[in-house]
Amino acid sequence: MSTDAMTNTKNGKKTKVNVKMIAQIGMLGAIAVVLMLFEIPLPFAPSFYEIDFSEVPVLIGAFTMGPVAGVLIELVKILLNFLINGSTTAGVGELANFLIGCAFCLPASYIYRKFHTRTGAIIGMLTGTLFMTFAGCFLNVYVLLPTYAKAFNMPIDALVGMGTAVNANITSLFTFVVFAVAPFNLLKGVLVSLIVFLIYKKISPILKMGRE
């Protein structure tokens, strides 16, 4: 086979792989949007903190195609949800979902990419859960809750009061983060990690088909 023919073959295969990855990113993003519709309220946090499992397809895609793909799936999920359902939080909830979702999938998929074993996956998901929890607390205190309060022209104390109404331990912004935000992100990370751990090996061969 000539050099030109080999180059054309490689370019054709690369194009096919890129198209398949784009299609999978879109598909996983769409699945994530559907999963966002099924939210579970928590007894220890205000109503605007509800767990969904939309990070499952995001993490599966990040494990299969890499950290950048995970971020793109997260972005597709947020944009599709915004276009379909709009926003009831002036965009603050969508921003929070994107940033905190990336804080989870990026370290998890990066570690799994470096240590491509079951142990690497577990360490990655544990690290992602802890990083997401830390990022969630930091962002809520310094960015998300203040922005939310400003967008709806309400004092931070009013948000704290919403927390107090469901959890008597919440009496300040600090305790809001300790007793609502941190447990919420820890629980979400653990549940998503458990689901991915159970189903990844069954799903990943389908996503990898035609790209290897």
Where do we find the tokens 């990943």? Answer: 204
How confident is the model at residue 5, as a pLDDT? 46
Q: Are 98 and 150 in contact (CB under 8 A)?
A: no
Instruction: Give residue-wise pLDDT tens across range 18-70.
Output: 788 888 999 999 999 999 988 888 888 888 788 999 999 999 999 999 999 99
H or E stretch covering 144: none
Domains of the chain (ranges plus CATH)? 3-208 (1.10.1760.20)
Q: Give 111's Cβ-side CA count (13 Å radius).
A: 19
Q: What would the DSSP string read from start to end of 148-202?
A: HHHHTT--HHHHHHHHHHH-TT--SHHHHIIIIIHHHHHHHHHHHHHHHHHHHHH
CB within 8 Å of 194: residues ≥ 6 apart = none
